[in-house]
Amino acid sequence: MTQAQIQRSANLSILEAEPGERKWRDYFTFNTDHKVIAIQYLVTTFIFYCIGGVMADMVRTELKTPEVDFVSREVYNSLFTLHATIMIFLWIVPAGAGFANFLIPLMIGAKDMAFPRLNAVAFWMIPPGGILLISSLVLGDAADAGWTSYPPLSLVTGQLGEGIWIISVLLLGTSSILGAINFLVTLLKMRTPGMSTTQMPLFCWAMLATSALTLVSTPVLAGALILLSFDLFAGTAFFNPTGGGDPVVYQHMFWFYSHPAVYIMILPFFGIISEVIPVHSRKPIFGYKAIAYSSLAISFLGLIVWAHHMFTSGIPGWLRMFFMITTMIIAVPTGIKVFSWLGTMWGGKIRLNSAMLFAIGFVSLFVIGGISGVMLAAVPFDIHVHDTYFVVAHLHYVLFGGSVFGIYAGIYHWYPKMTGRMMNEFWGKVHFALMYVGMNLCFLPMHKLGLMGMNRRIAEYDAKFATLNFVCTMGAYLLAISTVPFIINAIWSWMYGPKAGNNPWEALTLEWMTSSPPAIENFAGFPVLATGPYDYGMDRPKSEVDVPLADEREPALAAGPKSALRADPDPNVAANPEDRK
């Protein structure tokens, strides 16, 4: 009996026989089912991704030639400002929340999130926030001071656009705070009886770290933006130097959130990759605890690195050194993850399907972003490349090569669970190939551009950079084209794709122990852990396997919430077999 069969037979009694049926209208209502909300998140954010992508391609079209010949300078500035804001606040961050919504309750064996209505409220802040933001472009006065919105520039450009930008980001920030509260409480309080924290899948650990980070840092951004709006509309001078304010204070407040934000944007996808790689390598994850605790380490360290964005703003020498060291140290937990993923793949039986290809692509591209990240931490070198295309390249390798590849890996992996149908593998691979090539074509030359002296956020540039910029623009077009096979595949497969069954990948985590798509309350009872989440290839004696069958646990579950049995983790099931009794 394989581990997947053991897990399945242990959970037969709680399996919903009928897959969850939903009408299309459900997705347009204030639904409180976490799975509906998850799909709402994923689809909505993907639409915003496409809008942000169109803006990116307009920016690249402008940069195809050194002259300003496609849009005006003002529109160009608005385009890259909105592109960044949309991609960060309306795509990567909420897409992570979308996955968390779908997966957390299923992975920990809960029926829903801790606060289902709050969950819906968190989602329903996103569409108005996004529409408001994009409407400012239509109104002809969109924010154009960059997504960082540094005063005093943000105070002297158009008031309307800047005001809309502030309100929109405040809405989206509130949404992510509400989401984070929900994830934390769900993860800490609603695990199926018998599941200890060290038996949680790694995605749950990643979301634990992400949510804690969101809760600590996001309010500071809200503070900065509210003060900025006072400067903008009420004539105060918190950051406005004409009244004696200090623009650098804004930068400290802004980056206190916005640096952790990059970890908020990447940690969930570290979690996804930690789920995808073991399933498709048919091997246990290498170093479960190392990966779990490194997420927490990144979360903590992420809070004390913000001033590396300000090495050229004028902060004292010793402070620059402090932030250099903390920033460099983050390479250690991140390195642990990367090597653990490689260790997982090593000696496996790797199924090179679309999900796994995107996971491999994630690791491959993230490593480049990670290496340039360590370089940027070194103060003397950062002084040279700060605010240049080197930084643009670095952040896109991390956030596009990392997060977006992670999102796609997750979609290809969990699509059968979300929809009950399989995606087309051929078109998935075409999608991957186009995206991988386009990504490198678009962003790799930017490293050289930055080092040679091309600053960012400019519509016109020195003619000597023309060739490399042309290559970048072609890469950007390829990236846009790469989305087409995915969109068609996702829609077509949802309607006509072959039925997936409950567990097409023979995975062990609990979300695969219910029907596809899962019924409204996920499971008919409490799921039990007959195996660890990553026990692939374990060949255990039958006697050990039979211990935690569902029916044997029933008395314990029936004993009520105060029963000691309920709270005790099952000693036979731990992520790491060395911890098992």
Partner 1 sequence: MNIPSSIWTLLIGIVLTLTSLWYGQNHGLLPTAASDEATLVDGLFDTMMTIGTGLFVLVQGILIYAAFKFRRRQGDNTDAPPVFGNIPLEILWTAIPAIIVIGLSIYSFDVYNEIGGFDPHSAHEAPIAGQAMKMPGAAIAATLNDTPPSTEPNANQIKSDEAMSDPATASVRNSDQIPQKRDAPGMGIVSPGIGASPGNEGKVPGLAVNVTGLQYAWIFTYPDTGVVASELHVPAGKEVKLDMTANDVIHAFWVPELRLKQDVIPGRQSEIRFTPKILGEYKVICAELCGPYHGAMNTKFIVETPENFDKWMQEQQVATKGNLEQAIALNAADRSPAEFLSPYTAQMGIQPETLHQLHHQ
Per residue in 450-489, is it b (16+ CB within 10 Å) or e — as a string?
A: beeebebbbbebeeebeebbeebbebbbbbbebbebbeeb
**43 or 342: whose CB is closer to partner 1?**
342
Contact between 416 and 425 under an 8 Å Cβ cutoff? The reply is no
CB of 447 to partner 1, least distance (A): 7
The residue (of 97 and 209) whose beta carbon lies closer to partner 1 is: 209
Nearer to partner 1, 188 or 342 (CB): 342
Shortest distance in whole angstroms from residue 137 CB to partner 1: 16
Of 2, 15, 132, 152, nearest in space to 507 by CA: 2
Q: How far is the CB of 382 from partner 1 (least distance, A)?
A: 9
Nearest Cα to Cα of residue 332 among 294, 362, 304: 294
Residues with Cβ < 8 Å from 156, sequence gap 6 or more? none
Q: In angstroms, what is the minimal distance from the CB of 166 to partner 1?
A: 17
Task: Determine the Cα–Cα distance for residues 427 and 488; give it in Å rounded to an integer.
Answer: 9
* Nearest by Cα to 334 from 305, 291, 300: 291
Closest distance between partner 1 and the C-beta of residue 233, in Å? 17
CA–CA dist 277, 86 (Å, integer):
29
CA 226 to chain centre: 26
**Smallest distance from the beta carbon of 68 to partner 1, in angstroms?**
8
Q: In this complex, which beta carbon is closest to partner 1, that of residue 185 or of residue 237? A: 237
The Cα–Cα gap between 10 and 534 comes to 16
Phi, psi torsion values for 359, nearest 5 degrees: -65, -40
Q: Round to whole Å and give the CA distance between 388 and 450.
A: 5
Cα angle for residues 523, 529, 534 (degrees, 5° grid):
110
- What is the C-alpha separation between 516 and 32, in angstroms, rounded? 19
* Smaller CB separation from partner 1, 396 or 447: 447
When the beta carbons of 195 and 507 are compared against partner 1, the nearer one is: 507
| Nearest residue (CB) to partner 1, 240 versus 419 | 240
Name the phi and psi angles at 95, rounded to 5.
-65, -40
Q: How far is the CB of 246 from partner 1 (least distance, A)?
A: 7
Count Cβ atoms within 10 A of the Cβ of residue 29 and give its class: 0-12 exposed, 13-18 middle, 19 or more buried: exposed
Least Cα distance to 311 among 388, 221, 203 occurs for 388
Closer residue to partner 1 (CB): 100 or 224 = 224
Cβ 404 to partner 1 shortest distance, Å: 18
Please say which residue, 537 or 569, places its beta carbon nearer to partner 1: 537
Residue with tokens 């087409």: 484
Nearest residue (CB) to partner 1, 9 versus 313: 313
Alpha-carbon gap, residue 397 to 370, rounded angstroms: 8
Shortest approach of partner 1 to residue 97 CB, angstroms? Answer: 29
Q: At 164, is the secondary structure helix, strand, or coil? A: helix
Q: From CA 15, how far away is CA 524, in angstroms rounded? A: 6
Nearer to partner 1, 48 or 534 (CB): 534
- Nearest approach in angstroms of CB 288 to partner 1 is 7
Least Cβ distance, residue 441 to partner 1 (angstroms): 17
The contacts of residue 167 (CB under 8 Å, 6+ apart) are 132
